[in-house]
Structure 1
Amino acid sequence: MARTGITKDDVKDARQRLIDEGQSVTLDSLRIELGNTGSRSTIQRWLRELENDDSTLLQDEQLLTETIQTTVLQLARRLQEEALAKVEQAEAMHKTAQANWQMLADNLRTQIQDLTAQTEDLQRKLSSSEDSNKKLQEARQQDALTMAELSGENVHLKSLLATKDQHISSLEDKHQHARQALEHYRASVQTQREQDVQRHEHQIQQVQAELRLAQQTVMVKQQEASTLQAQIQQLTATLQHVETTSAQLKEQLGSIQTERRQLERQLEHRDTLYAELQKAFDAKCHDVQQLQAHVSSVKTQETTWLQEKAALTASLATQQQLWQQLSRSATAPAS
């Protein structure tokens, strides 16, 4: 028996105080907690009985401890299930987000490829338009040179035509003067002949001689007139040819001017198309930049999901450790 008056309840209370304070339960710590009273054998005996009582309480299914143990196990199991549900939900959300991101990435990749192809096509069209524009400018310059040559040739033809007109006018004046001189000469010869016949019959031979001379002169004048007429006809034919050539040149000039206007309209259309292609190219570059920014945002969201998953996984591991500790505390006998 305990000679110092140490009871089983005293030892039980001291042991509970040590457990509450988180200290190990030993004979020395119990004796110090009891105020250094009681023998070691008495304390050890009461301690052994308390351990047997605890073992009996843990094994008795009718006692309240099993209810507490069941409650703790159920609570731990529930915590684990909730943690697993959260992790599964987070994983499902992450998989969904990853699938959406993958789909979006594929779509963005396809759009980028399409935009790249469109950009290359626009660049080819732009290069072709620049080549066409260059060819049109070269053709325009060539047409300008041709127009200048035709204008010079037209001026030369007009000058030649004016010269021919002056020459024809001069020949017509000479022909008119010759005809007037011939008529005047005929009149004067006739008058002189009548006067000579009336005045001097003896001068008939002289008048006849003069008449023959006048006839020869008339023949010469007629030959000159025929020659002048032939020259006039030749000059008229030349004038007609020049007029025909001038009309043809005018038609060619009109056709060239029409082609020039068409080329100018084509050049304006090319310039407009070039400006539209440049605007479309700038818009596509802006769309590519927006898509790249969106891809960066999606990658940032994926990183955030991964961090949340890691946090949930760490929380689940912590809850599992807590559940294991609770399970060991509920099942293991108190030492």
Structure 2
Amino acid sequence: MARGRVYKSEVKVARDTLLLQGTNPSLDAVRIALGNTGSKTTIHRLMKELEAEEVSAAELAGEAVSDVLQALVGQLAAQLRHEAEATVAAGQTRADSQVAAAQAEATSLTRQTREASDQIQRLQTTLDAARQTLAATEQALRERDTVIVGLQERLAGLERQLGEREAHLISVETKHQQARDALDHFRLASKEQREIEARQHEQAVQALQVELRRATDSVATKNDELLTLNRDNARLTEQAGQHDKELREARRALLAAQERAAGTEALRQANQALEQRVSQVTADLEAMRREQTMAHMQWDAERSALADALREARAQGERWGTIEALLSSLQPFPQTGTAPST
């Protein structure tokens, strides 16, 4: 930090130092030698005061200086001039060397400048190509950004679809588990149902066997009854034929008696007896015909009942075969973790 105050002695030392160095003690040079301290106005004032004091001191000293001192001063002045000339010559030599070095450096710099210019030209060409490449790259980047935006939108859609798919998968797994539980329940219920149906089938088979035996016995009984009815029908038919024969004979006798009894009471009584006999035979014949009709009707009913019993027996046999096939198809599923394939 610069000080706020500068002393005259400091200004004098700085000025004398500049003079010894061969530098013009200007205001700026003195201030620089002071370390850029103090204001220029103060330094200028102090330098004027020093000059005034030195002039005054020189005038006072000039009056009392002896010839010896003047000679000494002359020698010092000559020595100072000689040293100054040597200093100047050395400075000139150094300056010439510096000028030559500067010229060489300028030549080198000129060459370097031309090389730099060529390099700049090449770099400019490269820069133009790079700019074109950059423009193409920026265009490609913009297109890629567009593609990326589209891909991001597609990715978002795929993520939504994935979420929906996962939710659907969870729902399907839940439904699959429910179906598996339902299948297990169905298997258990089916097993119980098959056991119940097996027991019912055994009972039904036993009942059908009992009914079949009953039907077989009934058929045998009906066959016996049918044979009996056939014999009775043959007997009744033979009796009816015999009664028809007797009726025809009675009618012929009646006609003959009527012809013979035309003039006699005995014949009339015989005719009446014959008429009663004919009436009785006719009544018997009608009764036999009714009995034969009833026998035919009973025979037809028995034959129909026998046919029904046979049909029922065959139906029972068919139902038994159907139940057997159903039981064969209702074999238990294999006890595995998966449902039977259809």
Q: TM-score range by the shorter chain?
A: 0.3 to 0.5
Per the normalisation by structure 2, the TM-score is 0.41
Larger radius of gyration: 2
